[in-house]
Amino acid sequence: MIRWLLRAVVAASLLGSTWVHYVVWQDWAAETDVVGPLFLVNVVAGVVIAVAVLVWHHWLPVLAAIGFGLATLGAYVLSLTTGFFGVSERFTTQAELWGLITEVACVVFALPLLFLREGTDR
């Protein structure tokens, strides 16, 4: 039961992050050279990883979810500090807040799932 709940939360977090990136892509990122395509890659990858976390009970999709969350957080931190391919953020929008929450949740809830073995939560 615990593993299934963690899988559901991780998948929901991934889908939440992809939704934020899709909305931001529609708002302004589609017009940028590098970041626009990267946002679309984020959307597709997040959906694929979310489905994999739910249907393939293996450690690889869970590890991919952690990598997704860390990579997306890293890119966002760069955009806040030094800039990321010409994009500089200031943490002023709700989309940024929701993106931050969902990406942190990807990592926080996937980590215990990575270390729980099948059958240990009964």
Confidence of residue 24 (pLDDT cuts 50, 70, 90): confident
pLDDT at 69 over 60: yes
Return the higher-pLDDT residue of 120 and 57.
57
8 A C-beta contact, residue 113 and residue 6? yes
Identity of residue 76: Y
pLDDT at site 102: 92
8 A C-beta contact, residue 56 and residue 62? no
Return the higher-pLDDT residue of 78 and 112.
112
Q: What does the pLDDT look like over 106-120, one tens digit per residue?
A: 999 999 998 886 654
Dist. CA 12–CA 77, nearest whole Å = 22
- Tell me what percent of the residues of the chain surpass a pLDDT of 70: 89
